[in-house]
Chains A and B, each alone.
Chain A
Amino acid sequence: MDKIQEFIEKVKGLNKKVVFPEGEDQRILLSASELLKEKIVFPVLIGKKEKIYEIGKNLGISNLQQIEIIEPENSELFNTLVEKYCENRKNINKNIAEKIVKRPLIFGGLLVNTGICDSMVAGAANTTANVIQAAALTVGYFEGIKTISSFFIMVLSDGKIYFFADCAVNILPDENQLAEIGITTGINYKKLIGTNPKIAFLSFSTKGSASHPSVEKVQKAVKIAKEKNKEFDIDGEFQVDSAINEDVAKRKIKEFSPVAGKANVLIFPDLNSGNIAYKITQYLANAQAYGPILQGFAKPVSDLSRGAKVKDIIITTVITCLMN
């Protein structure tokens, strides 16, 4: 069984409720229909009922009547969620909150905040910045985390799995942000794969083989991450070959490292390297790339690519549910 099928089987039976704020998008409708039909999750759509039924009819979706659809302004939950918003955002009065809570992304985020839904999947029709903004205002950040980032699950043709981060959100993270990205990705590796991660912070230098401010940033990030997290194996700075190949690691690294040559979580120093790395692995090594999956929020919220297909939406939903 491949890893994604394994994830799907794991989610079935967990009875997860997932809100999709872009309920009027055709791909979201088709995904919701499939997710319900296959008993993977209970989807909740946000949007105008009339419009959703019309789109659903045109698409030939047969189980639309069984899917919960919420129109924020007409929902019996509206006032409760407005109160919740004001409670979380002390400087915002009720009138302003009412304007904000009408927005599907905000309403969806509040459904997750209040536990009515387990997670939110959006981004098919909204930018990543809008999804992050809505989640930050409603769901909030994971304890001790200030940096929202993302990871990709890379599945190689031999079945080997690596997590890559951050390949989609932070352009030039500083050492503190980089350390947070490493730890958060490690936490999600453990949640999804079930074993402890081996986290490698990457650079063009291995254990001081080169000297440059950008190398020093990675070295500082390793130190911060090790201080903040004693549970996971964390090390660096490594060139990528020293991180993933044991023979190279033995030749290049003389000191003991629990990560060198065995890394399964690769933390890139900036978005240039992270983004290039995941695409080059995807296209030249024919790896499957699943993501970007957002991380750092108190509860799971995922961002879809605006070009996402139904299969991508279903996989992202499944992964998001396992991050709970």
Chain B
Amino acid sequence: MNDTEIMERVKKVISEVLGIDKDKIEVTDRFVEDLGAESVQSLELVAAFEEEFGIEMDEEKALEVKTVKDAVEFIKKYL
């Protein structure tokens, strides 16, 4: 899977979980400040990424990820 595909799937998950338009998500966006995620939704995002990519992530470290770009980089480690 190349970076573009991963990015597209990450954006799809974010769009579904946060209920926002996929096309409005930028690579540099921060989950809370730019995409309006409530801090309580971080757990749901982690579970949704795991489901989408069929992976199990280190939850503590996954919850530290703050931007879309960093989420892609973090997920790549498990693929």
Spell out A's residues near B (CB within 8 Å).
89-93, 95-96, 99-100, 103, 106, 132-134, 136-137
- The answer on a CB contact under 8 Å between A96 and B47 is yes
Distance, CA A133 to CA B37, complexed state (A)? 13
Residues in B1-56 with C-beta less than 8 Å from chain A: 16-19, 38-40, 42-44, 47-48, 50-51
CB distance B43 to A95 under 8 Å?
no
A121 to chain B, nearest CB (A): 20
A99 touches B51 (CB 8 A): yes
Interface size on B, residues (CB 8 A): 14
| Complex Cα–Cα for A93 and B50 (A) | 13
Q: Is the CB of A99 within 8 A of B47?
A: yes
| B18 A96 Cβ-Cβ under 8 A | no
Q: Which residues of A contact B38 (CB under 8 A)?
A: 136
The answer to whether residues A91 and B18 also contact, given A133-B39, A133-B40, A136-B40 and a CB cut-off of 8 A, is yes
A100 touches B47 (CB 8 A): yes
Pairwise interchain contact A91-B40, C-beta atoms closer than 8 A: no
| Residues of the A chain whose Cβ atoms lie less than 8 Å from the Cβ of B40 | 132-133, 136-137
Tell me how far the C-beta of B53 lies from the nearest C-beta in chain A, rounded to whole angstroms. 12
Question: Which listed residue, B19, B39, B42, B51, touches A96 by the CB 8 Å rule?
Answer: B51
A91-B50 in contact given A96-B44, A137-B44 (Cβ < 8 Å):
no
A90 to B50, CA, bound (A): 19
Which single residue of chain B is at the shortest CB-CB distance from A106? B43
Residues of B contacting A96 in the complex (Cβ-Cβ under 8 angstroms): 17, 44, 47-48, 51
- The 29 sampled A-B contact pairs (Cβ below 8 Å) are A89-B44, A90-B19, A91-B17, A91-B18, A91-B44, A92-B17, A92-B48, A93-B16, A95-B51, A96-B17, A96-B44, A96-B47, A96-B48, A96-B51, A99-B47, A99-B50, A99-B51, A100-B43, A100-B44, A103-B43, A106-B43, A132-B40, A133-B39, A133-B42, A133-B43, A136-B38, A137-B40, A137-B43, A137-B44
